[in-house]
Amino acid sequence: MNPAIDQRRNQDEILAGGEFPLTRRDLAEIAQMIYSDAGIFLNETKASLVYSRLSKHIRQLGLRNFREYCDLVASPAGAAERREMLSFLTTNFTRFFRENHHFEHLRDEVMPGVISRLKAGGRVRFWSAASSDGQEPYSIALTAITALPNIADYDFKILATDIDPKILAAARLGAYDVSSLETVSPQMRKQWFREVTVDGKPKWQVVDALKRLITFNELNLMAAWPFKGKFDVIFCRNVVIYFDEPTQMRIWSRFSELLPEGGYLYIGHSERVSGEAKAHFDNTGITTYKYIGKSGGRKG
């Protein structure tokens, strides 16, 4: 038995079949690039997902197989396609007021203090990290402006970031199918959305007065964060679950550096703050964490 031959056979094993068979070697190379670029961890259980997300695009590129595709996106000439690959493999499921308990907490527990600070001349910043097509930051804005209708007159801003420039373009447009607004109250829909036609299809678009509360920027959570000040509230939900444990712990630690004492972090329903940062947060609700600072340890 030849170990080298066995290793080659193992690499050539097909993990997902179809028009373009996806081998173990192909998946390993794609996974390494995605992890290096975005911190997203893909193992062999994701082979079918990778195949379904990329096979149509490989056909459109005129390539013969995943091997040619891997060679392309790993090359300097394929830098743009490598970004496209990240867009295809990034999960962008979202909806207005998803995990509504967070928005109820924001409305009832956070906004009263925010309003007092704003009226006293203070500065307030919220961050929607991994904001997808904008439904999360617009939900935050709707919660804030409902609590304080003239909030635009104060020093209040929401930063919304995502790694995917295409999804950010959709977020800036802020136009959604009527089915996307099922979780938006009729009153909010009437006040903060207008009916438009986009590419011949009827849509509901966020009005400019709400859009002006939000700045959309491209940001990779694995890269440097160009922030000068702190955020009073950070939403980062159903994103960190796609990272491995060491990466998750780094992200929690970085978030803790950007929150003032008493600031809030909202995370996804399957996520938990871990690592050293855990000692600096109180779990005050369902996947809702209050930053308690680094001195004195955890408070009861």
Mean pLDDT, residues 63-86 taken together: 93
The structural domain count of the chain equals 2
Query: pLDDT by residue (tens digit) across 166-219?
Result: 999 999 999 999 999 999 999 999 999 999 999 999 999 999 999 999 999 999
Known active-site residue 232: no
Candidate list 26, 162, 164, 232, residue with the active-site label: 162
Confidence of residue 89 (pLDDT cuts 50, 70, 90): confident
Give the pLDDT confidence score for residue 18 in this predicted structure: 82
d(CA 240, CA 248): 6
Largest CA distance in the chain: 78
Candidate list 53, 82, 117, 272, residue with the active-site label: 53
Query: pLDDT by residue (tens digit) across 113-135?
Result: 999 999 999 999 999 999 999 99
- Average pLDDT over the chain, rounded to whole? 92
Give the pLDDT confidence score for residue 12 in this predicted structure: 79
Known active-site residue 53: yes
Q: What is the DSSP letter of 201?
A: E
Which of 58, 89, 120 is the endpoint of a domain? 89
Give the pLDDT confidence score for residue 10 in this predicted structure: 63
How distant, in Å, are the alpha carbons of 85, 90, 270, 280 from that of 238? 20, 12, 7, 21
d(CA 261, CA 242): 28
Give the pLDDT confidence score for residue 180 in this predicted structure: 94
Same domain for 182 and 71: no
CA dihedral of residues 66, 30, 271, 172 (deg, nearest 10): -80
Same domain for 275 and 159: yes
Residue 20 belongs to some domain of the structure: yes
Give the pLDDT confidence score for residue 6 in this predicted structure: 43
Residue 96 belongs to some domain of the structure: no
Confidence of residue 300 (pLDDT cuts 50, 70, 90): very low
Same domain for 157 and 49: no
The mean-pLDDT minimum among 20-24, 150-154, 254-258, 292-296 falls in 292-296
Residue 5 has pLDDT above 60, yes or no: no
Which of 89, 124, 154 is the endpoint of a domain? 89
Give the pLDDT confidence score for residue 213 in this predicted structure: 98
Report field, pTM of the whole predicted structure over 0.75: yes
CATH number where 18 lies: 1.10.155.10
CB 138 within 8 A of CB 174: yes
Only one residue has tokens 């062999």, namely: 44
Which of 67, 89, 111 is the endpoint of a domain? 89
Percent residues over pLDDT 70 in the chain: 94
Domain extent at residue 72: 3-89
Residue 299 belongs to some domain of the structure: no
Query: H or E stretch including 1?
Result: none
Query: H or E stretch including 135?
Result: helix 135-147
d(CA 276, CA 254): 11
